[in-house]
Amino acid sequence: MPTYNPPVRDMQFVLHEVLKVTDDYAAIPRHAETDADTMNAVIEEAGKFAAEVTFPLNIEGDTVGCKLNKETHEVTTPPGFKDAYAKFIAGGWTALSCDPEFGGQGLPFTLNQCLYEMLNSANQAWTMYPGLSHGAYEALHAHGTPEQQKTFLPKLTSGEWTGTMCLTEPHCGTDLGLLRTKAEPQADGTYKLTGNKIFISAGEHDMTENIVHLVLARLPDAPQGSKGISLFIVPKFLVNADGSLGKRNPIFCAGLEHKMGIHGNATAQIVLDGAVGTLVGEPNKGLQAMFVMMNAARLGVGTQSLGLTEVAFQNALVYAKDRIQMRSLSGVKAKDKPADPIIVHPDVRKMLLTAKAYAEGGRALTLFCAHLIDRELFHTDEKVKAESAELVALLTPIVKAFLTDNGHVATNACMQVFGGHGYIKEWGMEQYVRDNRINMIYEGTNTVQSLDLLGRKILGNNGATLKKFGKLVAQLVEEEGVNEKMAEFINPIAFLGDQMTKFTTELGFKGFQNPDEVGAAAVDYLRVLGHLVFGYFWARMAQVALREVEAGNTDPFYQAKLQTARFYFARLFPETATLMRTARAGVSNLLDTDAALA
């Protein structure tokens, strides 16, 4: 059976020693009284909840899955899921970073990020129920009418109701311009929606009394394509004027998808048969409102893979220290045993360190993004707010795609550490591989994220935002460039940072001549930039650790951080050289292949 220990110490290191988030709170009145002790206490309690309440349900949830009663259209979640959710509500976790106006605690979003990383390590399938609700909350908080906010936000904040995002249809996924669900206006100002949705995570369940579906649909006179999409609130049960629940709305679960992983989450086929909904925002501008939820979900998906990378690493490390196989090539290491623990073998260490480096680098990046969101929303300086929003937009596709790709590498590597036992269900490792695989696909495949990054976020503004991130790298290089002890961490990012401008300009010029060149290079480009971002944070973490060691701090935590940083720059970061070469290979070897693909 797997185990899980919340990485509280590493979270505190990133928050307080690397990012120093509380230093900014003086300029964020909402968080001015949130100090390091408060944050640490919340993180510790969140870790306990994840490890003690949701983690024990993970394997059984995967085994049992969700059950649909086709006559009533009701779904039963795995044993313990509903009780765990009730405890989640009782602990106030749903309201952690929500607006106090609607019953929230108003704590930093950064703490919410810590909470959800640990919940995803513990049980990704369970965590998707409250995770999607938080995205629905964000969308309605940004774009809902005062009446909609009064009706739905307090219940989403408290967790009494959950939310979904209903986008995908059987004939269209990412290309939402093709969707067919119809919304007919009614005399009372509501709309009746008819259509079919698929792949709706947490689309039906027994954990709450109501589910708030955010549905994309077309009005009768809507223009074709994505410019003709509107967003609607379609609750499972209609809500009376006094806030009580009314009659059942005809929005039903017609089936549950049979999936590779996340079996404990109800991935529903949803049928709308004249379901009553209310319009969110302006007609035909639903994507603008839904993008609030979609971007929150994309950051959340990256966090899902971060969580799985961490828990897979922890269990592979324990196994590698205990499992004995063969002898070390350089001589016997465990003289009292018939063979050496497999952790003595270099390639086993490579697999373990790969997962560790990707987990700790991903943690630094996601916490940085969460802190940017706190600054974007609540900082008193408008320039800081705008620049924070711009950086988050740049980094969101990297969080989604780079972290999920890394999660795929890491969970597979950790399963490999177990050898044949990794392929056996009781050890838990194969579930982490299966659960992680969806993260590379949904909320826009990683190819879509790459196209968004290179085509829209970078070439779309001539690299202006990329240059702003480049300034962060340049500042660190200038600060530590003459420090010989930092050279192994600084030189790689300085070299790649200098290359990025020419690399980006070259791809942009080729893309101007033939847009397919952008499509051919985008995936490799995102991974190169992902490594530059990770390299920046690994250099910052190494900087802090090195200073502590030089000051005489004997805590092995800092030596471990330096050793992991050295591994990352020596073994993982050099992937950028190959990726830049393949990104420059052009599109002809992909498109001039009709004979090969006949």
Q: Tell me the per-residue pLDDT of 316-354, one tens digit each, with 9 for 90 and over.
A: 999 999 999 999 999 999 999 999 999 999 999 999 999
Q: Give 174's pLDDT tier (boundaries 50, 70, 90).
A: confident
Name the phi and psi angles at 217, rounded to 5: -155, 175
Confidence of residue 202 (pLDDT cuts 50, 70, 90): very high
Average pLDDT over residues 78-106: 97
Please say whether the beta carbons of 75 and 66 come within 8 A.
yes
Provide the pLDDT for residue 394.
96
pLDDT of 295 > 90? The answer is no
Q: In this structure, what token pair is assigned to residue 30?
A: 């909402």
Q: What is the pLDDT of residues 467-525, one digit of tens each?
A: 999 999 999 999 998 999 999 999 999 999 999 999 999 999 999 999 999 999 999 99
CA distances from residue 589 to 514, 520, 581, 582 in whole angstroms, order as listed:
14, 10, 14, 11
Please, are residues 397 and 457 in contact by the beta-carbon 8 Å criterion? yes
DSSP 244-303: -EEEEPSEEEEEE---SS-TTS-EEEEEEEEEEEEEESSTTBHHHHHHHHHHHHHHHHHH
Give the model's pLDDT for residue 365: 98
Per-residue pLDDT reduced to its tens digit, 104-115: 999 999 999 999
Identify the structural domains of the chain with CATH numbers, from first to last: 8-143 (1.10.540.10), 162-286 (2.40.110.20), 450-591 (no CATH)
CA atoms of 417 and 425, how far apart (whole Å)? 15
Does residue 296 have a pLDDT over 90? no
**DSSP state string for 550-578:** HTT---HHHHHHHHHHHHIIIIITTHHHH
**What pLDDT sits at residue 322?**
97
Q: Are strands 161-166 and 210-217 parallel, antiparallel or unpaired?
A: parallel
Q: pLDDT band at residue 556, thresholds of 50, 70 and 90?
A: very high
Q: Among the options 138, 443, 480, 517, which is catalytic? A: 443
Q: Are 298 and 292 in contact (CB under 8 A)?
A: no
The pLDDT assigned to 104 comes to 97
Q: Tokens in use for 217?
A: 């649909």
With bands split at pLDDT 50, 70 and 90, how would you rate the model's confidence at 287? confident
Cβ-proximal residues to 379 (8 Å cutoff; 6+ apart), any chain = 24, 27, 28, 385, 388
Q: 3-class SS at 148?
A: helix
CA distance 31 to 27: 9
- Give the closest residue to 118 by CA, choosing from 14, 45, 57: 45
Query: Could you confirm whether 517 is annotated as catalytic?
Result: no
Triad 196, 200, 201: Cα angle to 5°: 170
